[in-house]
């Protein structure tokens, strides 16, 4: 494709009002509150009892994926905002659908849930750190970071408000009012998800012409990036000696990123920069498709004798 045409994507700033930005921040905060209501103390204790698989997965999530994404960007050489969007996605924690997809893939749901819980907390520190570190090492993406005067502390505060506070509130509510938490858990999660979908759909509708015009430019990059993430998760587990069920869980966790958080950060700190926003938005669509395809492939490969997939309850399907 003509470089001059590709370069136009860096000039795009998606339309999003301050009120809309506040709503999308509130939407992801509500989603995180729903996640927190679903977490149990055992999810955090499990990493102390059986730390090997979650620790390998978290290393793949926050160390290997950002590092390999940096290398991938150097190889593919996308335009600066697209490159920074890829680095941003790689800096985010696992996505909310990973637990269900792990169950569908007959993976170890206990590992998946533990990784989701710990990675969400770790993201408060690791997301701003990885975005700042890897983004600043590439001269072209570093220029964007300088142009917006990105402060890792500001990103930390934003991520803490969006992820940390809802998680804390959810745990307090669960401890103080366990019966109430049990009653509202499922309807609240549905409400938060529907609310988020409506807000994002509104943002997409307001910028539909940009999305249609430029999504084709990011599809191949997102496909390669997501395939790399899934393979990093799976093979880091297998090479480290994890069994098949554990490796499947790590694969899904690393391949399903919290692109919703990434989208919020694009609008909060980069004024809806076109290349970043379109990469992150398409990631949010594609990783669901890729995750389901991966889960289907895993279902066609029987687990070795002695390895049992976790029961449905572990994945919070109810």
Token reading at 14: 């998606």
At residue 13, the 3 state secondary structure works out as strand
pTM > 0.75: yes or no: yes
Query: Is the distance from CB of 36 to CB of 166 less than 8 angstroms?
Result: yes
Q: What is the pLDDT of residues 231-244, one digit of tens each?
A: 999 999 999 999 99
Could you tell me which of 137, 168, 131 has the C-alpha nearest to residue 265? Answer: 131
Break the chain into its structural domains and give their ranges.
Answer: 17-315
Q: What is the pLDDT of residues 30-76, one digit of tens each?
A: 777 777 777 776 666 666 777 888 899 999 999 999 999 999 999 99
Q: What is the pLDDT of residues 244-303, one digit of tens each?
A: 989 999 999 999 988 888 888 888 888 777 788 888 888 888 888 898 899 999 988 888
Give the mean pLDDT of 77-83.
89
Instruction: In whole angstroms, give the CA distance from residue 61 to residue 118.
Output: 11
Q: What is the pLDDT of residues 206-223, one digit of tens each?
A: 666 666 766 777 888 899
Strand partners, 94: 257
Query: Is the distance from CB of 230 to CB of 254 less than 8 angstroms?
Result: yes
Token pair 């700042």: residue: 132
Could you tell me which of 161, 170, 198 has the C-alpha nearest to residue 24? Answer: 198
Could you tell me which of 199, 250, 223 has the C-alpha nearest to residue 61? Answer: 250
17-315 has which CATH code? 1.20.1530.20
For residues 58, 63, 69 and 75, what is the CA-based torsion angle, rounded to 10 degrees? Answer: -140
Could you tell me which of 36, 40, 35, 316 has the C-alpha nearest to residue 193? Answer: 35
Whole-angstrom CA distances from 17 to 20, 96, 158, 204, 271 are: 5, 26, 18, 13, 10
């Amino acid at each position: 494709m003509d470089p001059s045409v590709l370069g136009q994507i860096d000039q795009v700033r998606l339309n999003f009002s301050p009120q809309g930005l506040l709503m999308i921040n509130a939407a992801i905060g509500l989603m995180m509150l729903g996640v927190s209501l679903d977490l149990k103390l055992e999810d955090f204790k499990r990493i102390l009892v059986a730390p090997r698989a979650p620790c390998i997965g978290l290393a793949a999530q926050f160390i290997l994926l950002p590092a390999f994404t940096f290398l991938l960007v150097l190889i593919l050489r996308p335009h600066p905002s697209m490159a920074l969007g890829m680095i941003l996605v790689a800096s985010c924690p696992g996505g909310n659908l990973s637990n269900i997809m792990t169950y569908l893939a007959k993976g170890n749901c206990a590992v998946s849930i533990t990784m989701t819980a710990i990675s969400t907390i770790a993201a408060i520190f690791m997301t701003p750190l990885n975005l700042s570190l890897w983004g600043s090492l590439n001269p072209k993406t570093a220029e964007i970071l300088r142009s917006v005067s990105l402060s890792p502390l500001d990103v930390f505060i934003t991520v803490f408000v969006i992820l940390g506070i809802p998680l804390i509130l959810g745990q307090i509510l669960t401890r103080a009012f366990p019966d109430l938490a049990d009653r509202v858990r499922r309807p609240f999660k549905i409400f938060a998800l529907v609310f988020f979908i409506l807000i994002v759909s509104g943002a997409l509708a307001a910028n539909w012409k940009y999305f249609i015009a430029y999504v084709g430019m990011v599809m191949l990059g997102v496909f390669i990036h997501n395939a790399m993430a899934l393979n990093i998760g799976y093979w880091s587990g297998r090479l480290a000696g994890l069994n098949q069920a554990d490796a499947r869980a790590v694969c899904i966790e690393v391949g399903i990123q919290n692109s919703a958080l990434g989208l919020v950060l694009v609008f909060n700190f980069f004024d809806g920069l076109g290349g970043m926003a379109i990469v992150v938005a398409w990631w949010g669509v594609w990783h669901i498709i890729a995750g389901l395809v991966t889960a289907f492939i895993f279902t066609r490969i029987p687990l070795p004798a002695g390895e049992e997939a976790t029961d449905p309850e572990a994945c919070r399907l109810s």
